[in-house]
Structure 1
Amino acid sequence: MTPTTPAAASAAVARPLTLDLALLTAIVGGWLMDLGYPDVAWWPLTLLGTALMIASLRGRSIGGALLVGAVGGFAYYGMLIEWLTVYLGLVPWLALTLAQVVFTALGGVLVTLAWRWVPRAWPGTAGRLILAPAVVAAAWTAREAVASVFPFGGFAWGRLAHSQAEGPLAHWAAWVGFSGLTFLLAWFSAMLVAVTIEREVGMLRRGILVAGASTALLVWPAVPIAVTGTTTVAAVQGDSDSGLFADYEQGQILQDHYDATRTLFDQGLELDVVVWPENASDLDPLRSEHAASVLDLVSERLAAPVVVGTITAEGDETFNSVLLWRAGQGAVDQYDKVHPVPFAEYLPAREFFYPLAPRLFDLVPRDYSFGERDTVIDLDGVIAGISICYDIVDDDLLARQIDEGAQLLLAPTNNADFGVSDQSVQQLAIARLRAIESGRTLVNASTVGASAIVLPDGSTLDSLPLFEPGTMVQEVPLSDTITPAHAMGRTLEWGVILFGLLSVALAGLLIGRRGRALTRVHDMPDGPR
């Protein structure tokens, strides 16, 4: 029979894990989640790891949820962003990991409350196997959404959606966006936990539920993308030693990218644009005649404008910029990075933070200003959106690019600070999902790799090996399709968050009301009737 009371619902599922076993499960879950991201990219392991993390939070006290959430979060983020130690050392890695641990611990409490209250408030089979996992997934999504924007713009790296860039579920990004895809993945993972611990419903019915959900996720069609034209792009990887602590002569990074580009001279190419990476010119061509002459030469020889990353200045302000350079005209358009990276490109509240660790924050000697220009450039009628490096994780920036008419996405980046680590391929995975989400071709041009041209369906049109100079020359499709993900914007994300919070709150109220009613019955003179 289907249970109809909270007590019956509790008896219909397996007992929670002990705290010791829950801690071990959270650690294993965090490790498996990391393996779903590039470079390993075994995407099903992220689903399994998420299920283990979610299972470890079931049946915990508030203190236990904080502890298990913190331990699981440390295991996950500690391994995922290990690349931060390559040049910057342990302290920045530990600080960023612990910042994320705070969110995973608090999010763990919300997940625990969802497990505790929802099946008791709605004790039927649907409540235990469908509704409770959905509320758990909403709690997970809420934690991820907050951590992605707060504080100082948040850290939107390692979202569940990012693990699916090379898997068969990536096409969902165009339907529901990153937060929507995270919700679907967390819901499926929580459902795996729910059917595993279920004792009342037969194995066959549980298997049908999982098979049905899996099939729906896999066979749902991709968003159709209309091609409105093409443009020919040459993207350059200079393999320059352009890291924070690199020892190079002024102009060397510019020279490296010129040397890689001049292999295209005299090939008779008909190009529409040449794309150089972030920081590809270590001399600002707006202030350096040498840099300006080099870009003039490249633009003239290839008969195309050059998109080039450099550091610009305006009065007392410094910007991480991308210029659109034309021979004989100079910079005809410019994008300044809208959201510089906190504690890397600027130090928030410098007066407060700097005295706490002067030697550490000497690594951030200057504060880049926040750009206020639009996010697109005009390539003779083709509108290209610009994302500089970490910009690629910013949901709102992508939305601005599409709203401003982007038909193509350019993502110049400098990954030299992270050596031979997973950072660059993790970033490319995020960029791949952006191409799918937006329905646009994306050109990811890095100083050292990973450089690739990604089509709107997420497939790779061209790519370059890591740490080798090279070029990619391709005719790429353009599109002005508005995907469902863009049309909804953050509406779905807010809807999921409100659904989760209201469901947990309502479940708590219902349980409290039933408890008070039962107490009144037992307090009657003749006892319960």
Structure 2
Amino acid sequence: MIQSVDATAEHLQAARGITGSPDLVLLPESIAHVEGPIGQTSVGARFADPARRLGTNLVVGTTEAEGRDRFRNASILWGPEGNLLGRYEKHHRVPFGEYLPMRDPVEPLSDLTRLVPRDAIAGHGPAVLQPRSTPPLGIVISYETFFPDRVAAAVHAGGQLVLAPTSASSFTGRDVPAIEVAASRLRAGEFGRTVLLAAPTGYSAVIRPDGTVADLSGLGTRELLTATVPLRTGLTPYARTGDTPVLVLALLVLMASVGVHAIRRRAV
């Protein structure tokens, strides 16, 4: 939604425009950068304030440096009392964006280490956040939207909607943000869940469980999207089986094609 040198201050300012008593406020990926766990910093206290003022659950994307060469990409959940309730750390890291594959042999030979000075630590644990007095929230971060297995993990862990905080600020055009919206629409339809996409430079979106876009921000504009969205339980056929039926069908078609070709060769 916002592009700024100080993304933390800009998003906190935007949060001041929120009124009423929302159940959830979702802010984008990587809008706060801190050394060490955010709960032990003054930045964390700044995000606790709007959660407490609104009496809401607030999810904020952070990067937390760990030593000189590693960091964590996490979404942190603050509860209505301004207390930390949980966190999700990104599992699928972006190669050459969030980590450098085979860093040790590549480092002496390439300038890539200047572009990727630190490696993200791969997250572990369930892809859900559990607010107080609110159903479980599935969550994926940015690039993970392209992986059905990550959304499947969120849904199977009980997520009744899917949060998708992202940061496409490295891309100045509309292509990558538009692809993220398209991927989020696929995931919504596949798993029958609302997907909430929040980005600092756009697009942010509210996507219904059937994959339709209920609301979409502009690109690079400050906007606050508000919506009442359905919560869903249960599993769609795709959530139960994944890609297995399609892969089996493709294998059968391939085997049939090979068989027909072999029969024709023998006939000749």
TM-score (norm. length: structure 1): 0.48
Q: Which stretch has the larger CA shift, 500-509 or 480-489? A: 500-509
Give SS of 2:119's match: coil
Residue equivalent to 1:263: 17
Give the counterpart of 2:105 among 342, 352, 373: 352
Q: Kindly state the Cα deviation for residue 387 of structure 1 after the two structures are TM-superposed.
A: 1.1
Residue pair 1:240, 1:257 contacting (<8 A) in 2 also: no
Where do 1:150-299 residues align within 5 Å? 237=1, 239-241=2-4, 248=5, 252-264=6-18, 267=19, 269-283=20-34, 286=38, 289-299=41-51
RMSD: 2.0
Q: Kindly state the Cα deviation for residue 355 of structure 1 after the two structures are TM-superposed.
A: 4.2
Amino acid across the alignment from 2:7: I
Residue equivalent to 1:433: 186
Residue equivalent to 1:207: none
Deviations 1:416-437 (A, max 9, x none): 1111331101111111121111
Give the counterpart of 1:376 among 106, 128, 150: 128
Give SS of 2:226's match: strand
Gaps of 5+ in 2: none
Residues 1:410 and 2:173 are matched in the alignment: no
Gaps of 5+ in 1: 1-236, 242-247, 516-529
Question: In 2, Cα distance between the equivalents of 1:489 and 1:436?
Answer: 13
Give SS of 1:416's match: coil
Residues 1:365 and 2:128 are matched in the alignment: no
Residue pair 2:174, 2:219 contacting (<8 A) in 1 also: no
Residue pair 1:254, 1:281 contacting (<8 A) in 2 also: yes
- Which one has the bigger strand percentage? 2
Residue equivalent to 1:306: 58
Question: In 2, Cα distance between the equivalents of 1:486 and 1:272?
Answer: 26
Q: Kindly state the Cα deviation for residue 360 of structure 1 after the two structures are TM-superposed.
A: 3.3
Q: Kindly state the Cα deviation for residue 359 of structure 1 after the two structures are TM-superposed.
A: 1.7
Residue pair 1:310, 1:321 contacting (<8 A) in 2 also: yes
Deviations 1:425-477 (A, max 9, x none): 11111111211111111100001100011111222222221111121122111
Deviations 1:166-188 (A, max 9, x none): xxxxxxxxxxxxxxxxxxxxxxx
Give identity over the alignment, percent: 32
Residue equivalent to 1:154: none
Deviations 1:271-313 (A, max 9, x none): 1111000012233662663212211111111111210100135
Deviations 1:362-419 (A, max 9, x none): 2111111111121001123311111111000011111111111111010000011111
Cα distance change of structure 1 residues 329 and 271 upon mapping to structure 2, 3 Å threshold: closer
Superposition misfits of 4+ residues, deviation over 6 angstroms: none
Cα distance change of structure 1 residues 287 and 457 upon mapping to structure 2, 3 Å threshold: closer
Where do 1:388-467 residues align within 5 Å? 388-467=141-220
Amino acid across the alignment from 1:283: V
Question: In 1, Cα distance between the equivalents of 2:27 and 2:40?
Answer: 17
Q: Kindly state the Cα deviation for residue 498 of structure 1 after the two structures are TM-superposed.
A: 1.3
Cα distance change of structure 1 residues 495 and 466 upon mapping to structure 2, 3 Å threshold: same
Question: In 2, Cα distance between the equivalents of 1:366 and 1:261?
Answer: 30
- Which one has the bigger helix percentage? 1
Where do 1:52-63 residues align within 5 Å? none
Cα distance change of structure 1 residues 283 and 382 upon mapping to structure 2, 3 Å threshold: same
Q: Kindly state the Cα deviation for residue 478 of structure 1 after the two structures are TM-superposed.
A: 0.5
Amino acid across the alignment from 1:254: T
Residue pair 1:295, 1:327 contacting (<8 A) in 2 also: no
Q: Which stretch has the larger CA shift, 316-325 or 253-262? A: 316-325
